[in-house]
Chain A
């Protein structure tokens, strides 16, 4: 794969990759840094990309591994809204009736990383269960279990949000 071909493919995935990483770690600078690392690693390993998986799935898998490596080595703050104030649910009257980006952290910020990643990939990035299993390197059954638990969690948040 030439550099131009790689850039062409990466450009198509750039926005969703950065959005996914930003939703995971919460810090735009950190998320972009991880995305750069992931794209560099992908470029270095592009000769080994055989096309068995979609380019997007392969890239997200590398990005998720970069995120996990960063998490282990630098202990990045994955849920910046862990402060007590962040645990409150503002409710529709506090806003114009629309959800804000902060609500996402309130709803899923305290979930385990894999569970959060599965939810984001499924609902935000429209990935299938099979693709999520490849990205997170877990069996499809575990992805379904994570989604069920995560869905219950978000549902509870939404119910609280509505009743306030």
Chain B
């Protein structure tokens, strides 16, 4: 009976259609997958680079500010001084400007227009 069952399955096995079109479609799909993989890898590399740049820039700015504060210790105003004496020193304006500029640059880097996944038709 086992042989009969085997023969039954052998005789009734369906024949898939011509493999040429199937293979062509498969190749096209695999090529698309490769394109997506390459795009994803590019994006991962780009994100890593941006984070590295922001990290190094933060370290440099923070280090420079810390060094500046150590080299130019802050002298607290004596009570009873005029309001002009309490006005921020020029280096403080420069530091604030650097922080703002850094933030803007980081925002521009992070939101820069990405390479399109597929070429525009």
Contact = CB atoms under 8 A, between A and B. Distances in A.
A73 B28 CA distance: 25
B14 A101 contact: yes
B13 A124 contact: yes
B103 interface: no
A143 B34 CA distance: 37
A120 B15 CA distance: 14
A19 interface: yes
B36 to A, nearest CB: 9
Interface of B: 1, 4-6, 8-17, 19, 22-23, 25-27, 29-30, 33-34
Nearest to A102: B12
Interface of A: 3, 6-7, 10-11, 14-15, 18-19, 22-23, 28, 31-32, 35-36, 39-40, 43-44, 98-101, 103-104, 107, 119-120, 123-124, 151, 154-155, 158
Contacts of A101: 12-14
B3 to A, nearest CB: 11
A124 B8 CA distance: 9
User: 10 closest Cβ contacts across the A-B interface?
Assistant: A104-B12, A123-B9, A18-B16, A99-B11, A22-B14, A124-B9, A99-B12, A101-B14, A103-B12, A101-B12
Contacts of B6: 123
Nearest to A106: B12
Contact of A123 (B5, B27, B34): B5
Nearest to B9: A123
B74 to A, nearest CB: 57
Given A10-B26, A44-B33, A123-B6, A155 B1 contact: yes
A101 B13 CA distance: 6
A124 B14 CA distance: 10
B38 to A, nearest CB: 12
